Amino acid sequence: MKLFIMRHGIAVERKEWPGSDADRPLTPDGIRKTQQAVRGLRRALEGEPLHIIAGSPLLRARQTAEIVRGTLPVHAQTAIWAELESADFAPLIQRLKEAEQSGDQSTLIVGHEPGLSQFTARIMTGFAHGLEVEWKKAAVCALEVNCRHDRPRAKLLWFASPKLLRFMGKE
C-alpha cells in the first residue's frame, strides 16, 4: 500500500493565538501555500487515486486534509484519526493494517511534528530516532508500506518539500 505523509500547512503562531492549541487555524498565507503545494502533489500522484485522507483532530490538520480533498480528484473518504495528533505508532499501524486489509491501496495522513518524523523513522528503520526528516509545513513523503508482518516495513518512494511541490503546482 502507498502511504503519503503530510505535515499540516502554516498555522497561526502559538504565541499569537489566544485560544486553545487544538483550535489554531491555518493562516491565509498558509491556506494559499498549502493549496499550491497540493496542486504539485496532484502532479506527483499522476492520476493515482487516494482511498483515505485522514487528519489529526487539530484544526490546522483538518483544514489541510480538506484542502487535499478539495484540490485532488480523489475517490476518498476523509477521516479524523485521533492517533495522528501525536503520531502514536501502534494505533496508526493498526489503522493502516485495516486499510490494507480492506483493499485500500493509498492513504494520505496529515499530522504534526515531532510525531511525523518519529513515525516515519520508526516505520522505515525500526527506531523512532533512526532517521532525521525535516518536515517543513505542507511537505509530503510517499512510502510503500507493508503492514502484514509483525514488524511493519516501508520503502521511501519520494520526499517533496513544500517549495518543490508549489513549483510543481504552478499552472
Angle formed at CA 64 by CA 129 and CA 101, multiple of 5 degrees = 65
Residue in 137, 2, 15 with CA at minimum distance from that of residue 64: 137
DSSP letter assigned to residue 39: H
> Could you give the 3-state DSSP secondary structure of residue 11?
strand
| Cβ–Cβ < 8 Å for 147, 170 | no
* pLDDT tens-digit series, residues 10-47: 999 999 999 999 999 999 999 999 999 999 999 999 88
Average pLDDT over residues 123-138: 89
Average pLDDT over residues 67-81: 84
Q: Above 90 in pLDDT, residue 170?
A: no
Quickly name the fold that domain 2-168 has: Rossmann fold (3.40.50)
Angle formed at CA 43 by CA 133 and CA 132, multiple of 5 degrees = 5
Burial letters for 61-77: b for 16+ Cβ neighbours within 10 Å, e otherwise?
Answer: bbbbbebbbebbebebe
pTM listed for this prediction: 0.95
